[in-house]
A and B are shown apart, each in its own frame.
Chain A
Amino acid sequence: MEDKKREDQNADVITCEAKSSFSDFWKLEDYWAIWLGFLLLIIGIVIYFPRGPADMQETIANANATLEAESQRAPFKTIAWYQAVDAKTGLKATSSQLGKKIKNFLSKPKKWSANPLNALFINEEAAEAVQAKAMVKYEAARKKGAAALEKAKAAEDAASAAGFNDETLNAEASNVIDAWRAAHTKASKAESKIDAHSYNLIPSLICIMIALAVFFWDRMEDYGQFDDKIHGGLCFYLFYGYSGLHRRRQCNDEKLRYWIRCMGHSLRPYYK
């Protein structure tokens, strides 16, 4: 009786024996997190390392030579110094064709102001309206940037003419160049918004959702609640979304309705 009571008490006690085994490498959640993380990092390296800008080494060498020369020439950061920095920072493997496609495909919902649906979808007319609005802002920012650059050039020339020995002229040039940088940054931001085009993120978001489900499949499958039929649907949706990616630029309301209708039909066999 005493033994039985102790047994009952023991059954109620937490016994979580800590042990390690070789199979942890493919069974333990922590290791899976490592393998999946590493897999993505390796894929990133394989994709982007061969896709550096064509003139990367030359641009970097020229920019570094300019930076060196300019920092010896003037006691402040000159226009040429900043332009050399811009040339270097403009080098991005993500600017390659494939890089742009990947970024577009993996895009998260966009910003919206009046209509929440614009986070997922915007038609050509609306995109053109956004583009026109952005263009007006960009033109104004570009003009300000150009005017600030002219002023900066004049101030730097004046300081240069004095052999960079006049502290007042140097300080003036430095301030005016700072003002140009501020205007330049604003113009660059405005420029990034003039490329507004129509988009429909629904196909790519569905693909991401499915890709993530496949990616983390091992854990979910532990629950044994997934139907094998879904496997067949996955390939279809990945292809479907990829084809949608190529058509995004010409998307409109009619096509959005078509996408939604097709998805509804094709998902039906997988419902239970």
Chain B
Amino acid sequence: MKNYGIGYAAWAILFGLIISNTVGTPKWVMPAVQTEYYIKTGLVLLGAEILFGKILLIGVPGIFVAWVVTPTVLISTYIFGQKVVKIPSKTLNMTISADMSVCGVSAAIATAAACRAKKEELTLAVGFSLVFTSIMMIAMPAVIKLVGMPYILGGAWMGGTIDSTGAVAAAGAFLSQRALYVAATIKMIQNVLIGVIAFGVAVYWCARVECVPGQKVRAMEIWHRFPKFVLGFITASVVFSVVYEYLGSDVSHALIDHGAIRGLSKIFRGWFFCLAFVSIGLATNFRELKKYFKGGKPFILYVCGQSFNLMLTLLMAYIMFYLVFPEITARI
């Protein structure tokens, strides 16, 4: 089974899904269903495993994939929603567009607050995100394997398109360690955009759509919404890279690689990811999500926007990782 990519990540999600969709996730288990918390802690530990030079390597093409495609898809989907699909509510249109193009729930909340969307609009956007995340995190690695796509390209594709960070890690782990590195790094680069997008939407809303009297839009919003755990990931990588350099590669191999990392942090990172994957399964109930499949304009908007996102991200990832920076890809 492992040879087919059905490793611990798949089993963890599967068992969670079985419990959630049969007997239902017990209430007393719900306090422990903390997908984002586990994945963030795991990603801080992952920082120590990836030398900072490699993060920078992935970051160069990754910034183009995350920071060019994301705003492009957001703006295009919003315009598409207004002009073609003719979504009656601008706030719903913006919340769905941001939720789909940036990174799911966190971006949806930040954007919904920036454009003062209604609570049911946020619920709808988050619901779509949960549905498509659960489909994409399983379908995308399967498609990548089926068509024989290079795992680095696949990792970049998934990192730029799957909404939730936890699901990106799970999908990356389905493929390989390198795919996980690329997918998680690109996702974190994209996560940084949450505050920027929320700030941009608030400025646009106040200037062009509707400005509530007394409402002030501050640039500090970018920092307030910044995903702070990314700083932990970068710090861990920088510190371990400096120590690695200081000790030399041979001693570092013995004490860091086959010591602090493989002897402790990597093992715990595996357990934390496993907890996150089980939590994804436990939190996904298809009966509850079924209502979002009923169709309607918001659903059409999400499907069209996500399809565009998938195509543009794949194209940009291919251009950046294989045409513009092939030498970087070879070194990852």
**Cα-based distance from A29 to B261 in the complex (angstroms):** 23
A262 is an interface residue with CB less than 8 A from chain B? no
For the complex, count residues of A whose C-beta is within 8 A of B.
59
Known contacts A88-B253, A93-B258; A103 and B263 CB within 8 A of each other: yes
A114 is an interface residue with CB less than 8 A from chain B? no
Whether A41 pairs with B48 at a CB distance below 8 angstroms is yes
Complex partner residue of B113 from A16, A30, A111, CB under 8 angstroms: A16
Which stretch in A31-39, A139-147, A186-194, A243-251 binds the other chain?
A: A31-39
**Cα-based distance from A88 to B249 in the complex (angstroms):** 10
Whether B40 pairs with A33 at a CB distance below 8 angstroms is yes
**Cα-based distance from A102 to B44 in the complex (angstroms):** 21
Complex partner residue of B37 from A13, A33, A57, A102, CB under 8 angstroms: A33
- Chain B residues with CB under 8 Å of A53's CB are 254
Interface class of chain A by DSSP: helix
- Name the residue of chain A whose CB is nearest to the CB of B240: A41
> 8 Å CB contacts to B: which residues of A199-247?
208, 212-213, 216, 219-220, 222-223, 225-226
B30 is an interface residue with CB less than 8 A from chain A? yes
Which stretch in A44-52, A74-82, A163-171, A176-184 binds the other chain?
A: A44-52
- Chain B residues with CB under 8 Å of A256's CB are none
Which stretch in A17-25, A120-128, A149-157 binds the other chain?
A: A17-25
- Name the residue of chain A whose CB is nearest to the CB of B48: A41
> 8 Å CB contacts to A: which residues of B84-114?
109-110, 112-113
Whether B258 pairs with A29 at a CB distance below 8 angstroms is no
- Chain B residues with CB under 8 Å of A47's CB are 259-260, 263-264
A73 is an interface residue with CB less than 8 A from chain B? no
- Chain B residues with CB under 8 Å of A91's CB are 250, 253-254, 258
Whether B8 pairs with A108 at a CB distance below 8 angstroms is yes
Complex partner residue of B228 from A31, A40, A49, CB under 8 angstroms: A31
Tell me the smallest distance from the CB of A204 to a CB of chain B, in Å: 12
A65 is an interface residue with CB less than 8 A from chain B? no
Chain A proximity mask over B44-70: 1 for CB below 8 Å, otherwise 0? 110110000000000000000000000
Closest 3 A-B residue pairs measured CB to CB? A37-B44, A48-B259, A34-B232
Known contacts A13-B117, A93-B254, A103-B263; 10 additional CB pairs below 8 A are: A14-B121, A40-B268, A44-B259, A64-B250, A102-B263, A102-B267, A108-B271, A216-B38, A219-B37, A226-B31
18 contacts between A and B (CB under 8 A): A12-B120, A13-B117, A14-B117, A15-B116, A28-B228, A29-B37, A32-B37, A33-B40, A34-B228, A37-B45, A41-B45, A41-B48, A44-B263, A48-B264, A93-B258, A106-B264, A212-B275, A216-B38
Which residues of B are in contact with A by a Cβ distance under 8 Å?
A: 2, 8, 28, 30-32, 34, 36-38, 40-41, 43-45, 47-48, 109-110, 112-113, 116-122, 195, 198, 220-221, 223-225, 227-229, 231-232, 235-236, 240, 250-251, 253-256, 258-265, 267-268, 270-272, 274-275
Which residues of A are in contact with B by a Cβ distance under 8 Å?
A: 12-20, 24, 28-34, 36-38, 40-41, 43-45, 47-49, 51-53, 56-57, 60, 63-64, 88-89, 91-95, 99, 102-103, 106, 108, 111, 208, 212-213, 216, 219-220, 222-223, 225-226
